[in-house]
Homo-oligomer: A and B are copies of this chain.
Amino acid sequence: MSRSRTTDKSPIPSVWTREQRRTDQPALSREAIVREAIAMLDAEGIEALSMRKLGSRLNAGATSLYRHVATKDELMELAVDEVAAEIHVPPAGGPDWRAAVTEAAGSFRTTALRHPWLTLVLGQAGLAYLGPNYMSFSERLAALFTAAGFPEPSRAIDAVFSYVIGMSTTEAAWLTTVARSGETESDFVARLLPAAQQASAGYDHLAAAGPETSAQAADPAKLRDDKFAYGLEVVLDGLALRLPK
């Protein structure tokens, strides 16, 4: 049933078969494990990832994974760092620092929404930000903000990216709940609307201020984009005031 790399005590040990194995079933390796884990996390969510399922996806036993990864937590940190490589940060020194930061922030957000488990792990993670890709992400940010002329670049970065992380976390949680419902975001919003309105009955200011009008159920994704952009502009405006003129 469970078969390892060798099909069955290969009768004719030739270079061909061995080559084929190498590419066809690339053995168990840290990279392959992390890659497959990310695929599972993206497809089925964080609570669906178990070492046993991951193992059988790789045609391996669950405990074989532990030869390449110390623990499941470590695997999660590796996954975080792998995904951190997807975040794009424009080169430092460009003419328009706001555009560059906006690009980096947006790239973080889309990455976090593409991998909705990212923020969850970041919220638990021991020291996920010590991984090479996350470090290089931080380094490029530092370069960007330093070149922009901020006297305390790390404080500026923390301000912007705390906002970005907070918003992305909230959005990712929302999208996960939507996904679990099996509906489209619009349908889910429409179905949730009465409950939300009932829950906010008696809260005058919430009802007046809230965006829970049915007109906006039309394109919730655009609404989220706008909300993110708005808050980001707010933070960047606040930061601009601190730039030595």
Nearest B residue to A146, CB-CB: B205
Residue in B120, B170, B173, B235 whose CB lies within 8 Å of A238: B235
User: How far is B135's CA from A177's CA once the two chains are assembled, in angstroms?
Assistant: 19
Which among A13-21, A23-31, A49-57, A195-203 touches the partner chain? A195-203
**Interface presence of A227 (CB below 8 A):** yes
* CB-defined contacts of A170 to chain B, threshold 8 Å: 122-123, 162, 165
- Once the chains bind, are A136 and B166 in contact (CB under 8 Å)? no
Contact size class for A? 35 or more
**Interface presence of A32 (CB below 8 A):** no
* CB-defined contacts of A242 to chain B, threshold 8 Å: 234
* CB-defined contacts of A192 to chain B, threshold 8 Å: 127
- Once the chains bind, are A153 and B209 in contact (CB under 8 Å)? yes
Count of this chain's copies in the oligomeric assembly:
2
- Once the chains bind, are A163 and B235 in contact (CB under 8 Å)? yes
* CB-defined contacts of A130 to chain B, threshold 8 Å: 195-196, 199
* CB-defined contacts of A164 to chain B, threshold 8 Å: 166
User: How far is B240's CA from A237's CA once the two chains are assembled, in angstroms?
Assistant: 10
Nearest B residue to A211, CB-CB: B154
- Once the chains bind, are B124 and A159 in contact (CB under 8 Å)? no
User: How far is B126's CA from A100's CA once the two chains are assembled, in angstroms?
Assistant: 34
Residue in B123, B234, B238 whose CB lies within 8 Å of A169: B123
**Interface presence of A215 (CB below 8 A):** no
- Once the chains bind, are A163 and B159 in contact (CB under 8 Å)? yes
* CB-defined contacts of A145 to chain B, threshold 8 Å: 209
Given contacts A125-B173, A155-B230, A234-B238, 6 further A-B contacts (CB under 8 A): A124-B176, A135-B199, A143-B205, A158-B227, A158-B230, A234-B239
